[in-house]
Structure 1
Amino acid sequence: MSDTEIVVGYDGSPDATAALQWALQQARQDDRAVRLAYVFEWLTVAGWVGPGVTPGMWPDEQARRQVEELVGKAAADAAAAHPELTVRGDVLDGPPALVLEEISAQAGLLVLGSRGHGGFAGLLAGSTAVTVTAHAHCPVVVVRSDSAAGARTGHVAVGVDGSEPSLLALGFAVEQASLRRVPLHVVRAWQPRRDQWSLTGEQARDAALADQRADLDEALHRWQGTFPDVEVSVETAAAAPAGLLIDASRNAQLIVVGTRGRGGLRGMLLGSVSQQLIQHAHCPVAVVRER
């Protein structure tokens, strides 16, 4: 596996299909190979293990063959539709979260549907979602089928709070905006303490917001020198981070965040804010962490 390869968690579900289409478009833009990965977890009791798969007792070789056919056909169809790309598919064994984490160590990008079935049942609805997005060794893009269709146009948005992970997210977002030849919209949510609201007037609040903007300008300076072609807009607001980021995603084709933040983005992928963004963003969500 190449460390520039795009890996797609694929199980034939609508969200996984949307993730595959997103990954193929991304691969066309940055000239990468695409690998479909179905994580097959054997059942120890009779049950359903995947789309179009006949249930049976473990070990169910027929189910394994059907999964291999599903992934092989999807990879072949993708390669036929995009002959300029290298596309392959694999069926892997083990717990989905652990296998995906291992794969990400050698991938350039991991793309997942927000919900799946079979080997990826409830992938981004519970603990597995937190594990994959928080611990993957490469950037992870989460795609929902109902948000991907209208996300082909628009800007790239990024949430930045000054923490190291958010600065990594900023770098990823600038590169994506340059690659896609679209503007970059940088968002900083600032939430002062209650006592700050009571002790400061409007002028003091404006000064605090100006300080937040100055910090952003400093972070942007290095990237604007590397990517002078990217048009940048900045939004700094005293607001709840989840709502501000969801609003920022409304007209975006991709929104980018770090795995952990401070201030307005604290615990982005460990609590309610992360879940709200993944479930309600109007475009695919990229989660970036240090390799």
Structure 2
Amino acid sequence: SPDLDSITYALAGRLDVARGWGLRDETFNCLDAVGALGAETWFNLGDRDLATHLVRTERLNAGEPLSAVTAQLARRQGVASLILPMSDEPVRTRILTSDLPGVASGWLDFQEYFVREKASLAVVDVAYAGAGDATPAPGVVDAIADADVVVVCPSNPVTSIGPILAVPGLVAALHATRAPVIGVSPIVGDAPVSGPAGALMRARGLPVSSLGVAQAYRGWLDSLVVDVRDAELASALRDLGIASVVADILMTDHAREVALARVVLEGACA
């Protein structure tokens, strides 16, 4: 999972769907109090969301693995689905920029780049610190091997999916699974649907297009759902060994979300 909390909150029916993260009907009393005391408040966690972080940090500091803590938090919120982190070892996405005065190395943690700086800085490079020493969390490789379908959601291929692929053994598991592997492009035309995926893809040498997404997943991706405006990419995708599924991929309401989910499952089984 690229975002354990958002997925858990969504499955528990607690997600703030308007923002796409955090909890519905959240309050920010702790953040307001911290700001009143002169501390930084750019990392905008609500009160109940902060409770999740406090409990998780306490259990991790006590020596419990992230996968076990994740399962406990999911059960406490009534989530029966299996939610797995990619690894129990820490992997941190780092962004190299040349734009930030006063930062000698130029490296920022991803949340500093994305939240504090609002993804406004030029991106020179991206690194996944700790990935080389990480191992897949218990159950992750088996889940990929035993899946009926593997779906790569329309997340940022560099900072959401990229860290997962950087953990040794996970690309091999995607190669080895007998399940169809289908992705949904987060790019329409030459621009991301949302967020800084374009700048991050360019920093990794990928074209900002559905074709660039396919290149990032080449070798293990069987098919890619692309927007109707990118239907002409079918031949180029085929040259990469990837079948295209053409649909309206913009999820502007719940009905369109459900419709796209059906397209994905039908496309995987085609």
With structure 2 as the length reference, what TM-score do the two structures score? 0.29
Query: Which structure's relative contact order is higher, taking Cα pairs within 8 Å and 6+ residues apart?
Result: 1
Larger radius of gyration: 1
TM-score (norm. length: structure 1): 0.27
